[in-house]
Homo-oligomer: A and B are copies of this chain.
Amino acid sequence: MNHITPESRDNHRSSALLTDMYELTMLQASLRDGTADRECAFEVFARRLPNERRYGVVAGTERVLRAVQDFVFTDEQLASLDFLDERTLEYLRNYRFSGRIDGYREGELYFPHSPILTVRGTFAECVLLETVVLSIMNADSAVASAAARMVTAANGRKIIEMGSRRTHEYAAVASSRAAYLAGFHSTSNLEAAFRYGIPAGGTAAHSWTLLHVNEDGSANEEAAFRAQIDSLGVGTTLLVDTYDITNGVETAVRVGGPKLGAVRIDSGDLGMLTRQVRRQLDALGNHNTKIVVSSDLDEFAIAGLSGDPVDIYGVGTSVVTGSGAPTAGMVYKLVEVDGKPVAKRSRNKASRGGAKRALRTHRDTGTAVEEIVLPIDAETPDTGTLTARELTIPMIRDGRPVDGLPTLNEAREHLAAQLVTLPWEGLALSRDEPALSARFVGF
């Protein structure tokens, strides 16, 4: 599919009302009592990983940086905010974020208390961004974190993302992007292909086969297969489980011949069926015809099929809903005011004050050891024989994105490279402790 630069494809309307009301009322109160101009640092982090997973994947960063640029109030929006005083409206009318953002690059692994993103500027300019920053990071990271586990489970086999129909129509587009970042091969979603240049793919629906009935109402699967091949070529994927799978495969091979691209199975006991269909295809001489499976697959089902003759997985619901963890649970907390650390002291929700950066240490072999979290301006400590990699990179300076931030494909490659640095048990699908932990130094 044709695709031009993401910039020209994205939606450039204002992100300014993707916001909770209290951010604007806090702004108003701060303008009134003089605290609006205090220099603050807000930090995005997660207290834990959902469902006792071993790692999380940072995603959505590029979309966050765009939303910050698009955080501009229109006259119509301002006119609707009749609960604010004139001074606050005037502030919003001129609002452009002018501060700094630093954080983990997109595609980086994160763990509990990793300082994923740090937003610095005046209280007024930073507090407004809370909701939109978290919405994007929580949604995209949830999908990418689930998707990365599926990619690991697929162990080199391709996965097509096809879950658009199971999530909000724009969440679907972001989910396609996050799944691709995590290593999915392609997406069914055309808007994601259009905006982000992700490879698009697809097969056919059961409706296509059902449409092909004879005059008397009887089924005509052959006509459906023939028409699909006439239009899309013999390399296409035929959906063979609308009626009887064995008959479907036989018809598919008869119509498509030895060069038929693939058959798809979307129901039933996929392990048993794929073995049966592989035998049937091989017996018919179709050794190169691939088998695509779909039907409520998640990382566990994918792993369960690892010994079966599956070529491509189609994954829908589970990836767009984060496979049991539809949100990453990241929070946006004030950690520093006028250079001094601040922190909440509530039960179970205590946090650590001060703006932070982080390093990850690795052995000679590349294996990651731990994260070291430091005050943001602290010097890098001596890590002895371990190599220390800087996790925190500058993203926005004076309100503008810095040059050279990772592209989507770079983020995808970065994640793939990081996953292999985890201790081997870190890639397990079972529940356990995080694969790495953060150690705080200098607080």
A residues neighboring B (CB under 8 Å)? 1-3, 11, 13, 15, 17-26, 28-30, 32-33, 35, 38, 40, 42, 67, 77, 79-83, 123, 127, 130-132, 134-136, 138-140, 162, 164-174, 188-191, 193-194, 200-208, 210-213, 217, 223, 226-228, 230-232, 241-244, 266-268, 317, 320-322, 326-327, 329, 332-334, 337-338, 340-349
Q: A232 and B25: CB pair below 8 A?
A: yes
What residues of B have a CB within 8 angstroms of the CB of A33 in the complex?
223, 226-227, 230-231
What residues of B have a CB within 8 angstroms of the CB of A165 in the complex?
20, 130-131, 134-135, 138, 332
Q: A167 and B138: CB pair below 8 A?
A: yes
| Bound-state Cα–Cα, A322 to B35, Å | 38
| Nearest chain B residue, comparing its CB with the CB of A320 | B327
Q: B35 and A211: CB pair below 8 A?
A: yes
What residues of B have a CB within 8 angstroms of the CB of A172 in the complex?
18, 131, 135
- Nearest-neighbour CB distance to chain B for A127, whole angstroms, equals 6
Q: B171 and A170: CB pair below 8 A?
A: yes
Q: A1-B80, A29-B231 are in contact. List 10 more A-B contacts (CB 8 A).
A: A1-B21, A17-B194, A20-B189, A21-B188, A25-B232, A32-B227, A134-B165, A139-B167, A211-B337, A244-B345
| Bound-state Cα–Cα, A167 to B132, Å | 10
Could you pull out 25 A-B pairs where Cβ atoms are within 8 angstroms? A3-B80, A18-B164, A18-B172, A18-B189, A18-B190, A20-B188, A21-B189, A25-B204, A26-B205, A26-B207, A26-B228, A28-B232, A29-B230, A29-B231, A35-B211, A35-B212, A139-B168, A167-B168, A168-B170, A170-B171, A211-B337, A266-B346, A268-B348, A321-B327, A326-B326
